[in-house]
Amino acid sequence: MSYPTKTTFCVKYTMFFVNVLFWLISCIILAISSFAMVNKKELYGKINNLATDPAVMLAIAGVLMFVISFSGCLGALRENVCMLRFYSIMLGIMLLLEIVAAVLGYVYAGEVKQQVEKAVDHIIVRYRDDPDLQNIIDLLQKELKCCGSKDYKTWEQNVYFNCSSPSVERCGVPFSCCISDQINSQCGFGAIRMSESQASKVIYTKGCIQGAESWFMTNLIMMASIAASLPATQILGYCLARRLIEDIRDIIRRQQQAWG
């Protein structure tokens, strides 16, 4: 099928190449998540809630991105109205969900903060049980210069760092809480027993919730740009898909009139 205008030709191949890019990104995400899941497959029998597992969440995001981008890519290339319609509907649903989530997050900011605190506490409890969660919390604590969810004493919730634990790490905190740049697994030993003024000499004492809030305020423009780019990309994809559908239908109508 040949296109009547250069504009429609550009719409088709712009949509095709953009979705090829996102399709390749989704393949990379799926490869990383699959590798992580295979490496810790023996842990899945001990995990009560797979929805909180980073590898599973990454795999779900990768599958969703793969299906949507593939339908957009193939729909544009093959000029398939059904696939293009599916693509535009999925983008519309995702955009609507993001708007609803943003509004609810703003209206119920206090409840959202409490849920985030609970999620961080859950990660702290499972710190030694899941290597993915361990890497995430260590990265957050180092980058945000924080320790625990509310403060450094949150780590007493973990069975290994609790002061009643027989572990050598009892009353301590992970190395990622330490102020020193040198990795020293013993630098946080006994920190939970210290007062905040004493502990602040060797570890970060503020909680990661407060640290995240400070980081977002410092990088507000960058985060706002990133947050705006996702819906902007979705709106662009939706508009291109709808334009392409209308052009294909217009061509079909013209051909039917010519043959009629």
Domain ranges of the chain: 79-259
Q: Are 208 and 141 in contact (CB under 8 A)?
A: yes
Q: What is the mean pLDDT of the chain?
A: 85
Q: Where are the alpha helices (DSSP H) in 46-162?
A: 54-78, 81-107, 109-125, 131-144
Q: Are 258 and 32 in contact (CB under 8 A)?
A: no
Nearest-angstrom CA–CA distance, 34 and 31:
5
Quick: pLDDT tens for 73-90: 999 988 899 999 999 999
Q: Are 201 and 222 in contact (CB under 8 A)?
A: no
pLDDT confidence band for 6 (50 / 70 / 90): low
CA 235 to chain centroid: 20
> What pLDDT sits at residue 146?
92
pLDDT confidence band for 33 (50 / 70 / 90): confident
Handedness of CA 97, 101, 103, 107 (dihedral sign): positive
| Residue 24 scores a pLDDT above 90 | yes
Phi then psi for 202, rounded to 5 degrees? -120, -25
Nearest-angstrom CA–CA distance, 76 and 244:
8
pTM, full prediction: 0.77
**CATH class for domain 79-259?**
mainly alpha
> What pLDDT sits at residue 44?
57
> What pLDDT sits at residue 119?
83
Neighbours of 35 (CB within 10 A): 10
Please give the full DSSP string across 238-251, using - where no structure is assigned: HHHHHHHHHHHHHH
Quick: pLDDT tens for 121-154: 888 888 888 787 888 899 999 999 999 988 999 9
| Residue 47 scores a pLDDT above 90 | no
pLDDT confidence band for 48 (50 / 70 / 90): low
Q: Are 40 and 130 in contact (CB under 8 A)?
A: yes
Quick: pLDDT tens for 194-251: 888 888 889 999 999 988 888 888 888 888 888 888 888 899 999 999 999 988 888 8
Please give the full DSSP string across 157-179, using - where no structure is assigned: GSTTTSTT-SSTTTT---GGGBS
Q: Are 177 and 141 in contact (CB under 8 A)?
A: yes
Name every residue whose Cβ is closer than 8 Å to that of residue 198 and which is 6 or more positions away in sequence.
none
pLDDT confidence band for 45 (50 / 70 / 90): low
| Residue 186 scores a pLDDT above 50 | yes
> What pLDDT sits at residue 51?
58
> What pLDDT sits at residue 93?
93
Exposure pattern of 95-127 as b/e (b: 16+ CB <10 Å)? beeeeeeeeeeeeeeeeeeeeebeebbebbebb
| Residue 162 scores a pLDDT above 50 | yes
* Matching residue, tokens 């206090």: 110
